[in-house]
Amino acid sequence: MGDGIYHPFLHMVAEKHMMDPKKKYQLFKQNNNFCTCPWTNAQIYTNGDVKTCSIGTEVLGNVNESDILEILTKSNTLKRIRTNMLNDTPDPNCVVCQYRSIDDDNFVYLKDHYNSRIKNDDVDYDDIENFDLRFIDLHWSNICNLRCVMCHPEQSSLIAKDENFITTPVNQKNIKKIREMIIKNQTRLKEIYLSGGEPFYIPYNFTLLEEISNKDIPIRVNSNMHWQQNNKVFKALLKFKNVQLTMSVDALNEKFGYIRNGADWNTFTKNLEFVKTHTNFDIRINTIFSIINAIDICDLIKYFFAKDIRDITINLCTTPSPIDARNYPKNKKSKIVGAILDLIKTMSPDNVNLISNLKNCINRLQLDNEGSYEDCLDQITRKHKISWRSVFKDLI
């Protein structure tokens, strides 16, 4: 460290914490509320907020205000979350995973993603002040080249600019500190997750990826796929052995460009084919289900199935609330539900995640309508050159 201050977190070495094997087994296999994240993962958000993961509901602290080690070891919220987990008690921070676990036992939720990757590692879960960096979730900048209709200023610099929203970014000193923390612990890392903003345009990502010498670390990246093929971050990712690239896409052709304002379907497909030529990239799809793509969801899935891409996640759109799928025209909902059910019948039962996601879409559609979407779409239209009425004809 160049600042002359001793940072114990940066000097953390791989100490062997041998937890009682039976207790560890019980945590991973018999405890419904246990997740490794509070001990091993940190999400750094675009404004410096620290959370347990991307779906944790509580802010543990902010790296612009407190030392990250202090946050990850001394936060009272974090101690409470860990204690609840050890006691197999649901914690409010983890409500999203809990909600999903109630729906379907076979559904893989985020805690499973993390738990499955670390179950064979020694981490001292008995210690509620222990933090042992194994995963990092970097949403550390909102730099983005699109204005997706379901996005907001904190995750898109273009929306922030449009709305004169003043963001407080993670300051350079802390970016450096986080980067050094990752480099120091790189031999033990199980995953680096890059999101944003658009990770391919965030310069810190390039610096970090270039500085990491352990190219075995799995990298998970979310992208809107709108970048030049000589993009520096993409080139840096080519050096890693295992990159899981999650492409954000909600509809095909013209609707894609409308939902992901500024996006172009041809650019997306061109880059998709380009990525497919690189064997270190594992491609998956992430889509957001709302009134504006409800009618297209089956076509979207069939399109990617035809390209042999079957790892598809569908999240439900909750903001802006008027475009929540529950507000789809009442008299047309049954047609979409029928189409989804027909699609499920054609799918392999092994595709548990996607089937569960599609069932969630049906459940959402079947909720009572909560209001009108016209005003919201009119507002969105002002940012577009064409009216939503000419693109989303099913909503008229």
**Is the separation of the CB atoms in 209 and 186 below 8 Å?**
no
In the complex with another protein, the residue whose CB is nearer, 11 or 22, is: 22
Alpha helices in the chain (DSSP H): 21-25, 37-40, 68-74, 76-86, 95-103, 110-118, 157-162, 172-184, 203-211, 232-237, 253-259, 265-276, 297-306, 333-346, 352-365, 374-381, 388-391
Which stretch in 18-26, 196-204, 347-355, 383-391 sits in contact with another protein by CB under 8 A?
18-26
- The 3-state DSSP composition of the chain as helix, strand, coil percent (nearest 5) reads 45, 10, 45
State the minimum distance, in angstroms, from the CB of residue 32 to another protein: 15
Q: Which of 11, 16, 22, 385 binds another protein (CB under 8 A)?
A: 22
Which residues inside 277-306 make contact with another protein, applying CB under 8 A? Answer: none
**Is the separation of the CB atoms in 285 and 269 below 8 Å?**
no
Kind and range of the H or E run holding 42? strand 41-44
Number of alpha carbons in the 13 Å side-chain half-sphere of residue 101 = 14
Q: Is there binding between residue 21 and another protein (CB under 8 A)? A: yes
State the minimum distance, in angstroms, from the CB of residue 16 to another protein: 13
Which stretch in 21-29, 89-97, 349-357, 378-386 sits in contact with another protein by CB under 8 A?
21-29
Residues 6+ apart with CB under 8 A from 303: 252
Site string for another protein, 82-121 (x = CB under 8 A): -------------------------------------xx-
Q: Is there binding between residue 16 and another protein (CB under 8 A)? A: no
Q: Quick one: three-class SS letters along 357-383?
A: HHHHHHHHHCCCCCCCCHHHHHHHHCC
Which stretch in 16-24, 190-198, 221-229, 270-278 sits in contact with another protein by CB under 8 A?
16-24
Kind and range of the H or E run holding 243? strand 243-248
Which residues inside 201-230 make contact with another protein, applying CB under 8 A? Answer: none
- What is the torsion angle, in degrees rounded to the nearest 10, for the CA atoms of residue 312, residue 316, residue 317 and residue 321? 170
Structure-token match 């999650």, residue found: 246
Q: Is there binding between residue 28 and another protein (CB under 8 A)? A: yes
The pair of structure tokens assigned to 32 is: 């419904």
State the minimum distance, in angstroms, from the CB of residue 23 to another protein: 8
**Is the separation of the CB atoms in 18 and 9 below 8 Å?**
no
State the minimum distance, in angstroms, from the CB of residue 27 to another protein: 9
Which stretch in 5-13, 24-32, 44-52, 57-65 sits in contact with another protein by CB under 8 A?
24-32
State the minimum distance, in angstroms, from the CB of residue 21 to another protein: 4
Q: Which of 24, 100, 147, 260 binds another protein (CB under 8 A)?
A: 24
In the complex with another protein, the residue whose CB is nearer, 22 or 345, is: 22
Q: Give the Cα separation of 6 and 69 in Å (integer).
A: 12
Which stretch in 20-28, 79-87, 179-187, 304-312 sits in contact with another protein by CB under 8 A?
20-28
Kind and range of the H or E run holding 316? strand 312-316
Which stretch in 22-30, 176-184, 254-262, 308-316 sits in contact with another protein by CB under 8 A?
22-30
**Is the separation of the CB atoms in 169 and 48 below 8 Å?**
yes
In the complex with another protein, the residue whose CB is nearer, 113 or 284, is: 113
State the minimum distance, in angstroms, from the CB of residue 28 to another protein: 6
Binding residues for another protein, rule: CB under 8 A, are 21-22, 24-25, 28-29, 119-120
